[in-house]
Structure 1
Amino acid sequence: MIADVLADAASRMDKAVEMAKDDFATVRTGRANPQLFQKVLVDYYGTPTPLDQLASLNAPEARTLIVTPYDKSALKAIEQAIRDIPNLGVNPTNDGNIVRITMPELTQDRRKEYVKLVRTKGEDARVHVRGIRRKMKDDLDALKSDFGEDELARAEKELDALTRSHVDDIDDALKRKEAELLEV
């Protein structure tokens, strides 16, 4: 029973860390990265469809990204979806076969804004992990009648260690992203 609660906590916290890393990847760093566009939804025949299901994305140069649609009829919709991305500052060009995106240089002020944004996302992820810890602690407290206090105290320590390690993982990913953002 206790092992199940701890395994569930570890699984949920792992997912929270992965979501944080995915969120960090969507913040642009000055070079073209296909992950920037992983959450872009394109209106494809009236259905919001992820861009990576409609086209292949590759970065032939540091600041250029090429989007090659599988269906040429989706070209305009893809171009519009990319143009509508807030805070990206790109203007995609369409040559009839591909969409070419040239990433503009980041200013120092813009880099600082992105660092603030990433820190906010990191704090949200840490809060989420702590929320998982709180929920699992409540689940452990509900088991008081079935297990001894020593076992529950040990499980609580394991839960705290698990929480600490996942928060540290988020902090490490955050530091890497900040360094990447501030790199000129």
Structure 2
Amino acid sequence: MDPDEILFDAEERMDKAAQVLQDQLVGLRTGRANASLVDSIRVEYYGSPTPIKQLATVSVPEPQQIMIKPFDQSILSEIGKAIQASDVGLAPNNDGRVIRLNVPPLSTERRKQIVARVKEMAEDARVAIRNIRRDANKHADTALKDKLMSEDIHESTKESVQELTKKYEGKVNTVAEAKEKEVMEQ
């Protein structure tokens, strides 16, 4: 691999690692209703697990409530069962037309647990970024050994990979700190 390919591959993979963290954090409960809380829930619909978003309109009519209005009323009970079986921790209220999920305020203890989970997820993302750095450095070492790049280019490639690592670790830290602040402030 030439230096540009190594850097491009590393940056692309590091960006994906940071994006995965952002996607995971969106689904974390913060005490405020958010339609993305139910994004990961799948409903058994005609034999296949289907995301709620494809079966219903998900809205937030009040700060502490999520409303799910299915396109097909016959699957209302299936949506309720899927929500109960999920790890969202919310009880569905079915009135025959829509399902309402009341999001209770979080206790201080629960907030601390969520912050600990955010830190865990952020550390996983940082580890993934460091693993990508290791792989990129290994490619550079191999290219040097195979005489596909000079020592100067090898060193500058490694420095560039380290800069990318710092950039994406900083991005992960920023996202995690913002989520921690959001969880603790409400």
* Count of matched residue pairs: 183
Q: Give distance in 1, aligned partners of 2:3 and 2:72.
A: 51
Instruction: Provide, for residues 85-144 of structure 1, a one-character-per-residue CA deviation record: whole Å limited to 9, x for no partner.
Output: 22x331111122211110112110010011111111111111111111111111111211
Q: Give distance in 2, aligned partners of 1:104 and 1:153.
A: 54
TM-score normalised by length of structure 1: 0.95
Query: What is residue 150 of structure 2 aligned with on the other side?
Result: 148
5+ long unaligned stretches in structure 1: none
* Mapped contact 1:89–1:104 kept (Cα < 8 A): no
Offset at residue 59 of structure 1 (A) = 0.5
RMSD of aligned Cα (Å) = 1.1
Identity across matched positions, percent:
36
Q: Which residue of the other structure, out of 169, 172, 181, is the alignment partner of 1:170?
A: 172
User: Which stretch shows the higher mean deviation, 62-71 or 88-97?
Assistant: 88-97
Q: Give distance in 2, aligned partners of 1:4 and 1:135.
A: 13
Instruction: Provide, for residues 40-78 of structure 1, a one-character-per-residue CA deviation record: whole Å limited to 9, x for no partner.
Output: 111222211122222221111101001111222221111
User: Which stretch shows the higher mean deviation, 35-44 or 109-118?
Assistant: 35-44
| Secondary structure in 2 matching 1:43 | strand
TM-score normalised by length of structure 2: 0.94
5+ long unaligned stretches in structure 2: none
Q: Give distance in 2, aligned partners of 1:149 and 1:135.
A: 18
